[in-house]
Amino acid sequence: AERIDGSGLIAYPGFLDAYTNLGIPEKERTKEERERTEDLNPDPREGPLPATRFADRRGIRPQIRAIEQYVPDDKQREAHRAIGFTAALIATRDGLLRASSHLVSLSNDPIRRAVLLSDVAQHGSFTIGEPGEYPRTILGTFAQFRQVLLDARRHAKLQKYFERHPTNGTRPPTDAALDSLQPMLGRSQRIFFEANSAMTLSTFSSNWR
């Protein structure tokens, strides 16, 4: 045991930074990186022909896990600890649906020992954070949100159908983004939405259902 002389000192619980990009590099996903995992729009025989060829998912990357991008910096962690923080919820930068967050200790332990809780929540915002044309407006942003959630629900139905009919059903495509949204749609994972201004909060409250 290590004895610490606490004469004249005050002991208190460490603070929790409930949302931070600490240790997350400032790197945007390129258009080519995004398109590599995007799917074609539905077959025109299933409905009206879409105006665009690819199922655009600019700003949609829920399959990312924050811990996979986390690069701890001893100076940053020391600065946090100096003002009383001992743990932090790490989330990635930017994105309409940006990634699952992780609760980590701000000790100098290796990452595998520092993780206190994995995949705490899915995170969303109005900040797209990658190049492209669509969406550019609040209306387009919410259309993007709603479309990907509809796609995720349909993806789950296709997977269940294929499981019941493996010999005559069509195998659904591999889609990490849509798969990663299933816990949120099933209400087993929370979503934390960044509302860092009165305008953002008002818009979110009026449109998100």
pLDDT of residue 41: 57
CA distance 173 to 73: 39
Mean pLDDT value across the chain: 84
Share of the chain above pLDDT 70, in %: 84
Do the beta carbons of residue 116 and residue 80 sit within 8 Å? no
Mean pLDDT of the region 146-174: 88
Six-digit token pair at 69?
Answer: 């991008």
Structure token digits, residue 61:
């990357």
With H, G, I as helix, E, B as strand and everything else as coil, classify residue 142: helix
Read off the pLDDT of residues 41-55 as tens digits, 9 standing for 90 and up: 555 555 554 444 556
Confidence (pLDDT) at 199: 66
Share of the chain above pLDDT 90, in %: 39
104-149 pLDDT tens trace: 999 988 888 999 999 999 999 988 888 888 888 888 999 999 989 9
Alpha carbon distance 107, 120 (integer Å)? 19
CB 120 within 8 A of CB 103: yes
How far is C-alpha 108 from the geometric centre of its chain's CA atoms? Answer: 25
Question: What tens digit of pLDDT does each residue of 89-102 get?
Answer: 999 988 899 899 99
Q: What is the pLDDT of residues 13-36, one digit of tens each?
A: 899 999 999 988 877 777 777 666
Q: What is the pLDDT of residue 52?
A: 46
Give the SS3 label for residue 202. Answer: helix
Instruction: Look up the pTM and report it.
Output: 0.75
